[in-house]
Amino acid sequence: MIELLLSDSRAMAQDILAWVICIAALVWGGGPERAVALVWLIFFELVPGGYALAADGGFTLEGVAPLYATIDFVAVVCWVGIALYANRNYTLWIAAMQLLAITAHLARGLVESISSVAYVTMVSVPGWFQLLLLAVGLFRHIYRKRRHGEYRDWRLSSPPSSISVKSQTMMPNGLGLQKAPHPTWRDDLK
Please report which confidence band the pLDDT of residue 164 belongs to, taking 50, 70 and 90 as the band edges: very low
Residue 83 backbone phi and psi in degrees, to 5: -65, -35
- Residue 154's SS3 state is strand
For 38-93, what is each residue's pLDDT tens digit? 999 999 888 766 655 555 555 555 566 777 888 889 999 999 999 999 988 999 99
Q: What does the alpha-carbon distance between residue 42 and residue 131 come to, in Å, rounded to a whole number?
A: 14
pLDDT at 136: 94
Q: What does the alpha-carbon distance between residue 60 and residue 109 come to, in Å, rounded to a whole number?
A: 10
**For all residues of the chain together, what is the average pLDDT?**
78
Instruction: Give the residue, 65 or 149, on which the prediction is more confident.
Output: 149
Percent of the chain beyond pLDDT 90? 35
pLDDT at 119: 79
Please report which confidence band the pLDDT of residue 11 belongs to, taking 50, 70 and 90 as the band edges: confident
2-6, 27-31, 120-124: the lowest-pLDDT one:
2-6
Instruction: Give the residue, 58 or 131, on which the prediction is more confident.
Output: 131
pLDDT at 188: 63
Please report which confidence band the pLDDT of residue 165 belongs to, taking 50, 70 and 90 as the band edges: very low
pLDDT at 101: 87
Percent helix, strand, coil in the chain, to 5, is 75, 0, 25
20-29, 93-102, 150-159: the lowest-pLDDT one:
150-159
- From the list 148, 146, 73, 160, the residue with the least C-alpha distance to 109 is 73
Q: What does the alpha-carbon distance between residue 119 and residue 105 come to, in Å, rounded to a whole number?
A: 8
- Residue 108's SS3 state is helix
Instruction: Give the residue, 148 or 162, on which the prediction is more confident.
Output: 148
